[in-house]
Structure 1
Amino acid sequence: MAIASDSIRRARPLLGTFVEIELAGARRSELDCALEAAFGAVAQVHRLMSFHEVDSDVSRLNREAGLRPVSVHAWTYEVLATAVALHRRSSGVFDVTIAPALQALGLLPPLKDRPVQAPLAGFADAIELRPDHQVRFQSSDVMIDLGGIAKGYAVDRAVAVLRDFGIAGGMVNAGGDLRAFGVELRTVHVRDPRDPGRAVCRIDIADEALASTARRVELFDSREPGGSAVIDPATRRPASLVDGVTIRAPSCVIADALTKIVMICGTDAGELLESYHAGALLISAGGDVQITSDWHHRVHLAA
């Protein structure tokens, strides 16, 4: 006799946004246990990789790694290894040492007992990954922020937990960085970055990740409303080439990071996208939509 299964959807404030998890394919008690464990994984990523939490791995690295090797959690080490690989493969476009520029623009707060410094030139090989999850910075001037990659990683960790619980299918959505798993085809609506109340398209996904970012955000201490939280390391200024980007990739950590690269490079990132088996949807300042050729059959533009 077949065992009846339920579905469940819950949301919690985490990672500076609302994280929503949808599950199906198991009994309610099993779904509840899996849900708690998945939210726990997301919360742990937040504790480890927050720029703001004084005891996080990121804060300890920013205080100490320029002076001595610092031991970090395996998850933090994995994210840093991914960030270093992306930095090299993107010729320095993806750069987690961008924190001083974000502080100068008012997008990150100053640290206690450490004045905001002028944005520096990009650090090539600034992060040294040593055995046993130890990390050393090239200089005490190096300061990192994992805000451009950690949210996607948290989504992936939550999905891994849910699969470990034997959940058949579902979706984890952290403020637009999301990943579906299982065989069910799911539809995601992408907002127009020029008019967030309007959907520019809908995208069908199955067992893959999406991440989106847009140019128009408020800079807390800047007179440039409509600037971007995506900073071009070459200029230390907000990216302005396109208005919005949505990336499809096998994992959310890669999708999340690639949104920043494509916001800066636009269509010049095509080769890098292919190397990560990723697709992109770009929205220009004039509202034109460009879609990489591998993805047209899954994207349905709004009328």
Structure 2
Amino acid sequence: MPIAFDSIRRARPLLGTFVEIEVTTAAGPETDAAIDAAFEAIAEAHRLMSFHERDSDVSRLNRNSGIRPTRVHAWTFQVLEAAVEMHRRSGGIFDVTVAPVLQAMGLLPGLDGDPVIRPERRVTDAIELLPEQTVRFRSPAITIDLGGIAKGFAVDRGIEVLRGFDIPRGLINAGGDLRAFGQEPHMIHVRDPRDPSRSIGQVEVRDEALASSARRFDLMVGGGPSSSAVIDPQTQRPAGSIDGATIRAPSCMVADALTKVVMISGVGAGDLLAHYGASALLISVDGEVQITSDWPQAVHLAA
């Protein structure tokens, strides 16, 4: 029989969504301090890696690093290292330099009101990581967006803070990118990407992370899902073969990034998933559900 836990939940608007932190009431007298500190860590990651805030590391990189090397915070450099590695291991499918395409689609704003610059061709190894947390772009036309990986990183930092306060069990959920820890699993509902009011089932999450990507819904217009915000860098068009992907991985940063690769590559991302110790649940455009073979025992699909 599952153990029932009383919990404390707090939520704040961060990372372009609502971030919820849940911890067990057995956490002790420092519970409120732990939750506040975790929110502060998440807010710091947001401040550093926001595409929208003028003084963020990402905005400074987009303005300056195509002209001269630019030094960034250690957290930003760590995310860039992970993004560059994922880019290499995925054969270029994970690519944070697709920001100009997202700008052209109206999903990201232009920089300082200037027209969007779209490179004539993709630049191989566009981001150069230098000593002392310094970054250089190989072309002034390069613009990055870390939205496909930084939210997961922020969740990981919040979890790190909670564990530092000796919290025995908890979960941080940032709009579907989440990570849990503790001896007992958390049961997470996975939304149907074709109808977000429905669940396709439940997933057990214990000492691991879960992240999902799906085609966008315009709640003002209604109807079915529209095009994906996940861009295939080879075609510079939205991914179209997968309606939704949910990834289980050891860290939320890795799970967050892998959802984009799987939305583009589908089952072709199997080797990459194995490298990162990750599992995937995919829903194709025709509604077929596929689950990687190392995960079914923790997935409970709805009837």
Question: What does residue range 60-209 of structure 1 map to in structure 2 within 5 Å?
Answer: 60-112=60-112, 114-118=114-118, 120-209=120-209
Specify the code of the residue in structure 1 equivalent to 2:289: V
Change (3 A) 1:142 1:192: same
Partner of 1:238: 238
Deviation by residue 1:254-291 (Cα, 9 ceiling, x = unmatched): 00000000000000000100000000000011211000
Specify the code of the residue in structure 2 equivalent to 1:161: V
Query: Shift of residue 216 of structure 1?
Result: 3.0
Deviation by residue 1:19-63 (Cα, 9 ceiling, x = unmatched): 000012322x31100000000001001100000000000000000
Partner of 1:268: 268
Q: CA RMSD in A?
A: 1.7
Specify the code of the residue in structure 2 equivalent to 1:188: I
Partner of 2:22: 22
SS in 1 for 2:112: coil
Contact 2:119 2:141 in 1 (8 A): no
SS in 1 for 2:13: strand
Specify the code of the residue in structure 1 equivalent to 2:61: L
SS in 1 for 2:140: coil
Counterpart Cα distance in 1 of 2:35 and 2:121: 43
Deviation by residue 1:126-163 (Cα, 9 ceiling, x = unmatched): 11111111111101111100000000000000000111
Query: Shift of residue 197 of structure 1?
Result: 0.8
Change (3 A) 1:282 1:120: farther
Counterpart Cα distance in 1 of 2:84 and 2:62: 16
More displaced stretch, 115-124 vs 211-220: 211-220
Deviation by residue 1:150-188 (Cα, 9 ceiling, x = unmatched): 000000000001111111110000000000011111100
Structure 1 gaps, min length 5? none
Task: Report the number of matched residues.
Answer: 295
Contact 1:217 1:228 in 2 (8 A): no
Contact 1:6 1:26 in 2 (8 A): no
Identity %: 64
Change (3 A) 1:225 1:276: closer
Deviation by residue 1:93-135 (Cα, 9 ceiling, x = unmatched): 0000011011111111111153112354322111111111111
Change (3 A) 1:120 1:45: farther
Specify the code of the residue in structure 2 equivalent to 1:255: A
Query: Shift of residue 302 of structure 1?
Result: 0.3
TM-score (norm 2): 0.94
SS in 2 for 1:109: coil
Contact 1:173 1:179 in 2 (8 A): yes
Counterpart Cα distance in 1 of 2:300 and 2:121: 41
Structure 2 gaps, min length 5? none
Partner of 1:278: 278
SS in 1 for 2:55: coil
Counterpart Cα distance in 1 of 2:259 and 2:68: 33
Counterpart Cα distance in 2 of 1:124 and 1:83: 14
TM-score (norm 1): 0.94
Partner of 1:39: 39
Contact 1:193 1:214 in 2 (8 A): yes
Change (3 A) 1:225 1:249: closer
